[in-house]
Amino acid sequence: MALATANSGGLAIAPICRPRPLRPGAAATGRPTVFTRLAQQFRRFKIWSVPSVASSRAAQSAARGGREPSAARQPSGVDHSARPGAVGGRRPGIVWFRGDLRLHDHEALSRAQAECSSLLPVYCFDPRDYGKSPQGYDKTGPFRAQFLAEAVADLRAALRAAGSELVVRVGRPEEVVAELVRRTGAATVYCHTEVTYEELQAEAAVKSAAQAAGAQLRRFWANTLCHLEDLPFSLAQLPQNFDKFRDRINGLAVRPALPAPAELKGLPLGGQVDPGDIPTLQQLGLQPLPASHASLPGKAGGAAAAAAADASTSRGGETEALRQLQHFVTAAAASGKSAAGAAGAAYGSSFSSSIAPWLATGCLSPRRMLEDAQRALVSGQAAPAAAAATAAPVQQPQAPLAWVRFELLWRDFFRFITLKYSSVSGAKLGSGAVAAVPA
């Protein structure tokens, strides 16, 4: 019998002979083994990092029932539990976009960027959010659906500019995410938690599906001025009216908004994924909008009225949200309406209403909104965001900045109260909805 061994000239046939046993304590010397030569080839082509012979023997000993090597002794750059797409000991991550269609102030995206070897952003048009309600109404009307589709298209463009991509699917998130986990070998799914009962049900379903596919779901709080973890009381102790809520958070510092990443990690190597197309209104079961809806003329009536009219004809997306915000802070600073007065109150209140569609879809972060307004209206120039970005009670209720903060706190209160009772309902119905948001 003969054995094929590797050498520099190809395969050679060598007779099989019984290896001579080593003396106790003697080191393994002599010509390189087949495994060593293959390891050198793999290192040269950078296919993967191959552990040393000693480490391999230790792993083989553990497989035979010996003591498993500790993590500290494992060779760097090798992840023995990794699946296709894993690189350098870290596995890919999936970022599930929901009501956070932006890149700025996005903690889930920032965490995934820091912790994963590669990223796969995904957005799902959940069929359960469309169609008719039991009362016969559209669950999502055509104008909102069009706004969402535009926001998703804008998010995809921003991700592509940062070197990434947005996978778009029409389907239940738990099914879509589980499939992507299996295809890419992702270890973690990152998302921002929401507050309504049905949204919490969707999170619970995604968590179960991701775990069954071999990944964990990590949820982060977002889309409020005050962070849930910073409140001086538990969610169960949330005051039942806004005035008491505002008094309890007097002086509470607002966390600074996170910057949008200029560059993102690439897509997972394992399992090629088709980005998919953004569905039309007809594909979502809705009637197309009339062609004239986007060309309604604006009306006179001051900068606030102009901003409101502009908002009614504007597109969805982070790009448009930041443009609207810049329009407000520039006009307010130029008009000198940061002083007290009824005009300043009306201006700030009107803008808070006109910017609501972008806040509701997560195209704009409340913290970013307050920071930009503060820089423009307090000093007229850029200032450290953390200098005065607090949730203190309104000191000058007639100033535009104070009214912007006031309206954002109202929005916080409604989101917190919704989460409080959505969690209670979920617990009573046994849906598995989360009652608290894990870090």
Consult the annotation and say whether 413 binds a ligand: yes
Provide the b/e sequence for 220-258 (b: ≥16 CB within 10 Å): bbbbbbbbbeebeeebeebbeeeeebbeebeebebbebb
Single-letter amino acid, residue 73: R
Lowest mean pLDDT among 242-256, 282-296, 351-365: 282-296
What's the pLDDT at 38? Answer: 59
Q: Does 3.40.50.620 match the CATH number of domain 93-231+259-283?
A: yes
**Mean pLDDT, residues 137-143:** 93
**Mean pLDDT, residues 329-345:** 61
**Max Cα–Cα distance, the chain, nearest Å:** 100
Single-letter amino acid, residue 435: A
Q: At what angle do helices 366-374 and 400-429 cross, to 10 degrees?
A: 170
Cα–Cα distance list, 47 to 5, 42, 87, 88 (Å): 22, 5, 10, 11
Consult the annotation and say whether 409 binds a ligand: yes
Does residue 277 surpass a pLDDT of 70? yes
Lowest mean pLDDT among 101-105, 157-161, 327-331, 404-408: 327-331
**Mean pLDDT, residues 279-289:** 93
Consult the annotation and say whether 48 binds a ligand: no
What's the pLDDT at 416? Answer: 96
Does residue 9 surpass a pLDDT of 70? no
**Mean pLDDT, residues 239-253:** 95
| H/E run at residue 138 | none
Q: Is 136 left (phi over 0), alpha (psi -120 to 50) or beta?
A: left
What's the pLDDT at 399? Answer: 64
Cα(260)–Cα(319) distance, integer angstroms:
12
Cα(346)–Cα(342) distance, integer angstroms:
6
Cα(398)–Cα(339) distance, integer angstroms:
8
Helix, strand, or coil (residue 93): strand
Lowest mean pLDDT among 61-65, 254-258, 378-382: 61-65
10-15 and 2-7 as β-strands: parallel, antiparallel, unpaired? antiparallel
- Who's near 24: CB < 8 A, 6+ residues apart? none
What's the pLDDT at 144? Answer: 95
Provide the b/e sequence for 118-139 (b: ≥16 CB within 10 Å): bbbbbbbbbeebbeeeeeeeee
Helix, strand, or coil (residue 409): helix
- Residue pair 259/368 in contact (Cβ under 8 Å)? The answer is no
What's the pLDDT at 73? Answer: 30
Consult the annotation and say whether 370 binds a ligand: no
Rounded to the nearest integer, the mean pLDDT of the chain is 75
**Mean pLDDT, residues 422-436:** 46
Consult the annotation and say whether 245 binds a ligand: no
Cα(81)–Cα(214) distance, integer angstroms:
11
Consult the annotation and say whether 107 binds a ligand: no
